[in-house]
Amino acid sequence: MAQRTDVETPSAPAENATTPAVHATETHSAEPPPSHASEFFRQRPGARIFVIGAILVLLAGGFFAWRYFSSYESTDDAEVDGHLMPLSARISGYVLKVNVDDNQYVHAGDVLVEIDPRDYQVAVDQARADAANAEASARSLGIDVPVTTVNTTSQVSTSEADVANTQAGISVAQQQLDAARAQLAQAQANDVKAQDDLVRYKQLVDKQEVSQQTYDQAVATATASTAAVTAAKANVTAAEQQVTQAKARLAQAQANWTYSQTGPQQVASIRARALAAAAMAQQKQAALEQAELNLSYAKIVAPVNGVVSKSVEVGMNVQPGQQLLSIVPLDDVWVTANFKETQLKKMKPGQPAEIKADVNGRTYKGHVDSIAGSSGARQSLLPPENATGNYVKVVQRVPVKIVLEPGENADHSLRLGMSVEPKVFVNR
């Protein structure tokens, strides 16, 4: 009995202990039971700090990732672009040499193709001779201008002096004629007297009133006076001829003076011919320069450094304007990236860019050079007509030119048409 009492005695306190627990459970029945997370953080106080730190790190990482991915615009619709320079013949002729092969790298000034120059060398020689001849003619006529000026001035002075001299000569001849006529009149008067005296002395000698000697003297005097009249007439005739000659010389001198007055016109004519000869010399010199240019065109040289593609062979007869080669200057390439119009909100020239090339996986540095004035669709062969048919809005792409920084393509690994993926950092 005592043992049973010992066993049953502690049961009462257990029941009493259970009762408050039940009451406590019933009292707090609205509160949820504690979770494993709460137990975890309650048992490990440092875990809460770790989780908070991890959340902050994730938030910070997400923020920086958002900032990075929103700091640039990229597209895979891009390719390497550049100049494609066609080289054509400027003269016609037979191709003697082709000094390059396809895809060969050439430098500026290298002779690529040679056309037979012999015909053009002959043309140069002929043009040079024509130019020398025209230059000599122009120089000769240029010398004639001052000579003609001096000659015409001298002719004017000489002709004026001749006119004055001949006028004076006419005056002298006229005076001589007047004197001769006076002498003729005197001789005629003396002759009349002598003849009258002869008649009287004839009558007296017949009557023997005077001596025969006196009569002979009268005959001699009459004969002399008649000869004097004849001589005076001859002098008058000679004087008249001298006057006539003096007047003729005056007319000649006046004609010479009139001709000398055309001296300025003669000088102007010579000067005009000299100018015409000088112009002809310039024309021949221009023809010589053109011939020399045509001769220089017989050698087709590379205008820039680049890679050659040729379509010419030795033996071809080429014509002016016929394309023979094309050169791609690899030192001047850029990227044409077709960005969506929604990507151009913050894009502007000068922003830095990175270009990843598919050919080698290398990343090149560059910057935005310019943005096209229209979309690619607008520049296509058949641009869209949005005003006709059913309209469906399509996001357009606009070409953006991205140029490489100096030295980025020094190895010429980028070639025209290669695919690239550019990134433009629009927040810088």
Instruction: Name every residue whose Cβ is closer than 8 Å to that of residue 144 and which is 6 or more positions away in sequence.
Output: 270, 274
What's the pTM value of the predicted model, to 2 decimals?
0.59
Q: Please give the residue that has the higher pLDDT: either 337 or 46.
A: 337
pLDDT level of residue 160 (50, 70, 90 thresholds) = confident
Segment 380-393 mean pLDDT: 74
| Cα(210)–Cα(313) distance, integer angstroms | 139
DSSP code per residue over 279-343: HHHHHHHHHHHHHHHHHHTTEEE-SSSEEEEE---TT-EE-TT-EEEEEE-TTSEEEEEEEEGGG
pLDDT of 153 over the 80 cut? no
Q: Which residue has the tokens 């004026």?
A: 160
Distance of alpha carbon 18 from alpha carbon 367, whole angstroms = 81
Least confident of 34-38, 240-244, 341-345, 390-394: 34-38
Alpha-carbon span 103 to 108, nearest angstrom: 15
CA dihedral 34, 38, 43, 46 (to 10 degrees): -170
Instruction: To the nearest 10°, report the CA torsion of 121, 124, 125, 128.
Output: -160
Is residue 414 over pLDDT 50?
Answer: yes
Question: Among 160, 358, 392, which Cα is nearest to 255's?
Answer: 160
Instruction: For the chain, give the mean pLDDT.
Output: 83
Whether 125 has a pLDDT exceeding 90, the answer reads yes
Nearest to 137, CA basis, from 268, 287, 285, 278: 278
Helix/strand/coil for 77: coil
Dihedral-angle region of residue 321 (phi above 0 means left; psi in -120 to 50 means alpha; beta otherwise): left
Give yes or no for residue 85 having a pLDDT over 50: yes
pLDDT the model gives residue 337: 95
- Percentage above 90 pLDDT, the chain: 44
Give the span between the Cα atoms of 112 and 85, in whole angstroms: 14
User: Does residue 93 sit in helix, strand or coil?
Assistant: strand
Token reading at 213 = 């000697």
pLDDT at position 33: 57
354 neighbors 368 (Cβ within 8 angstroms)? no
Q: Does 2.60.34.10 match the CATH number of domain 72-83+328-425?
A: no
Nearest Cα to Cα of residue 287 among 115, 125, 139: 125
**10-30 pLDDT tens trace:** 443 333 434 444 344 444 444
Range from 149-163, 205-219, 281-295 that averages highest in pLDDT: 281-295
Give me the architecture of the 86-115+299-325 domain, per CATH.
Answer: Beta Barrel (2.40)
Distance between CA atoms of 359 and 333, rounded to whole angstroms? 15
Contact criterion met (CB below 8 Å) for 367 and 408: no
Query: pLDDT value at position 115?
Result: 96
Q: Is 360 helix (H, G, I), strand (E, B) or coil?
A: coil
Supply the DSSP string of 24-58, one letter for each residue.
HHHHTTTSPPPPHHHHHHHH-HHHHHHHHHHHHHH
Find the distance separating the first CA and the last CA of the chain, reported in whole Å: 97
CA distance 46 to 200: 196
Q: Which residues of 184-218 are buried (b: 16+ CB within 10 A; e: fewer)?
A: beebbebbeebbebbeebeeebeeeebeeeebeeb
- DSSP helix, strand, coil percent of the chain (3-state; round to 5): 55, 20, 25
Q: Name the CATH superfamily housing domain 120-287.
A: Helix Hairpins (1.10.287.620)
Instruction: Locate 183 and state its tokens.
Output: 């002498």
> Model confidence over 221-255: pLDDT tens digits?
888 888 888 888 888 888 888 888 888 887 887 78
Residue 195 has pLDDT above 60, yes or no: yes
